[in-house]
Amino acid sequence: MDGMTSMLPQMLIDGLTLGFVYAIVAIGYTMVYGALEFINWAHGDIFMFGAFVGTETLLFFKGRGLLDASPIVGLLGALIMAMVITGLLGVGIERVAYKPLRNAPKLVPLISAFGVSFFLEDMVRMTEGLARNAFFLNAPILFDSRVKLGSNIDISVKTIVVLIIGVIMMALLTLFVNKTKVGKAIRAVAQDQTCANLMAINVNGIISMTFLVGAGMGGAAGLLFAVQYSLIHPLVGFLIGLKAFTAAVLGGIGNIPGAMLGGIMLGLVESLGSGYLSILTNGNFGAEYKDVFAFIILIVVLIFKPAGLLGKAVSEKV
């Protein structure tokens, strides 16, 4: 019991770090669903694309000595690059793969999303294979020092930086959605597209803006993931995307605060489960089973509270 207690602070920090990544990716799912009632299954691969764009930017800075001179400036530059490129990618995907199918049956844009997902994976695989003769990429090591907090907590500086950036990003998104005219327009379109159009809101433009913001957040999360865990590959977005979708469903799909809450909760559950599972089962199950928790949560939520923790059940009038 003493060993489990001593492990708790470190696992909470690890869980929060992973949870913020899930939360930021989940926001992209929930924003698109709120606007179109459509799950963008390619969003996990937009996360992956952002991880590669950001990492390549960091490697570019490192090769020219810029990263060693000022790591935080280099990280912020790579973060902006990842957000801009993936944001524009999200807008392009919406215009090419989703907008022409907006009035089609629900299954058609879903199939299109899977096609976009495979395209992004293969494009990154081909590009990295030609450029580096490898599919895997290691992010430069940033903020390698560690900070001792008390007797049981030993946290790396990069984890602190990732947590701070994650908190700032979610706070800025909350202000953007709640306090700006564009944010209010996004909420209006999510609530009722027809009524928003009658109120002179450019629905198509707001939908594109939703993809821009959601994909940009996903790209930023990809870079934060690469900085924290170093190794990335073209399929990294598949499992992260599924878990982020689980987080969005847990919090209430279409609800931005719910996506944040669901992501943080999922990260904590996964971290605590991977740490304690081996102890509680006498070594029969180890940390390799941590991915099971996300799908158990998804099944339980869909059975007992399909609207999510912060979502509201909607009755359809006939």
Is the pLDDT at 279 greater than 50, yes or no?
A: yes
pLDDT in tens, 192-226: 888 888 888 888 899 999 999 999 999 999 999 99
Question: Would you place residue 89 in the very low, low, confident or very high pLDDT band (cuts 50, 70, 90)?
Answer: very high
- pLDDT tens-digit map of 293-315: 778 888 888 888 888 877 655 44
Judging by beta carbons within 10 Å of its beta carbon (0-12, 13-18, 19+), is residue 28 exposed, middle or buried? buried
Amino acid code (one letter) for 133: N
Q: What is the pLDDT of residue 317?
A: 41
CA distance 61 to 129: 21
CB neighbours of 298 closer than 8 A, spacing ≥ 6?
Answer: 246, 249, 250
In a domain, 22, yes or no: yes
Instruction: Please count the structural domains in the chain.
Output: 1
Determine, yes or no, domain membership for 181: yes
In a domain, 284, yes or no: no
All residues at 6 or more sequence positions from 192 whose CB lies less than 8 Å from its CB, including other chains: none
In this structure, of 111-125, 136-150, 178-192, 271-285, the range with the lowest mean pLDDT score is: 271-285
Residue 139 resides in a domain: yes
Q: What is the mean pLDDT of residues 179-192?
A: 87
Q: Classify residue 280: in a domain, yes or no.
A: no
The pLDDT tens digits for 238-254 are 888 888 888 888 888 87
In whole angstroms, give the CA distance from residue 188 to residue 197: 9
Give a yes or no: residue 245 inside a domain. no
- Cα distance between residue 214 and residue 284, in whole Å: 40
Nearest Cα neighbor of 166 from 98, 216, 221 is 221
| E strand or H helix that includes residue 281 | none
Question: Residue 98 is part of which domain span?
Answer: 17-238
How far is it, in rounded angstroms, from Cα 220 to Cα 200?
32
- Give the pLDDT of residue 316: 46
Contact (Cβ atoms closer than 8 angstroms) between residue 184 and residue 199? no
pLDDT band at 286 (very low <50, low <70, confident <90, very high): low
b (16+ CB within 10 A) / e for 6-17: eeebbbbbbbbb
Residue 86 covered by a domain: yes
Residues paired with residue 138 on neighbouring β-strands, in sequence order: 231
- Residue 59 token pair: 């490697």
The phi and psi torsions of 47 (rounded to 5 degrees) equal -55, -50
Task: Report yes or no: 215 and 89 within 8 Å, Cβ to Cβ.
Answer: yes
Amino acid sitting at position 193: Q
Contacts of residue 269, Cβ cutoff 8 Å, sequence gap at least 6:
15, 293, 297
Residue 211 lies in a domain: yes
